[in-house]
């Protein structure tokens, strides 16, 4: 499907952002983080991540509930079970690009944000460490018997029925 993340930051490459470019862009604006509200790791991460005061508000969107943003993610062919999603300045960032961008927008204050900067503060670091974080989520979901979200398998974007993964 079109609009998949092409490895350049945001879908269609519109989000190719370095720290220098980020400082030149208009950084005032709200951001939306789509996370798995049933995953304890995702909940903890989303609860403690803090954006710089100059950015705007971070809106948390639980992917377990229908929303226009989840419909947009699904229409773009992005599997929420395979990658987190951040929307900022009209660009959707997915997977390791979302973690990298969120780190750039975050304040370096606090233990979680410092750890975030250590692992995801560079594009290379995010591409290396994001798969490990995703694998930890998968293990936690399996151990706790929490079903995947499976947004791409739903024919009706407002159908919240989920099947248990094996």
Give the residue among 92, 136, 86, 96 at the shortest CA–CA distance from 116. Answer: 96
Per-residue pLDDT of the chain (166 residues; tens, 9 = 90+): 323 333 334 444 444 444 444 444 455 688 999 999 999 999 998 888 877 776 888 899 999 999 999 999 999 999 999 999 999 999 999 999 999 999 888 887 778 788 888 899 899 999 999 999 999 999 999 999 999 999 998 755 455 444 444 3
**Domains of the chain by residue range:** 29-153
Q: Which structure tokens are listed for 26?
A: 């208009």
What pLDDT was estimated at residue 155? 57
Cβ-count burial of 115 within 10 angstroms (0-12 exposed, 13-18 middle, 19+ buried)? Answer: exposed
What's the predicted TM-score (pTM) here? 0.75
């Amino acid at each position: 499907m079109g609009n998949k993340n092409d490895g350049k930051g945001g879908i269609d490459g519109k989000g190719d952002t370095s720290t220098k470019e980020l400082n030149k862009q208009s950084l005032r604006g709200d951001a939306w983080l789509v996370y798995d509200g049933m995953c304890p790791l995702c909940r903890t991460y989303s609860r403690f991540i803090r954006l710089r005061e100059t950015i705007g508000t971070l809106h948390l969107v639980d992917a377990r509930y229908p929303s226009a943003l989840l419909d947009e993610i699904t229409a773009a062919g992005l599997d929420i079970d395979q990658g987190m999603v951040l929307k900022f300045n009209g660009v959707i960032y997915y997977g390791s690009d979302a973690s990298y961008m969120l780190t750039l927008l975050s304040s370096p204050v606090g233990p979680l944000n410092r750890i975030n900067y250590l692992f995801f503060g560079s594009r290379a670091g995010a591409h290396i460490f994001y798969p490990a974080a995703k694998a930890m989520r998968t293990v936690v979901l399996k151990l706790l018997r929490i079903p995947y979200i499976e947004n791409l398998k739903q024919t009706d974007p407002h159908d919240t029925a989920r099947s248990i993964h094996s």
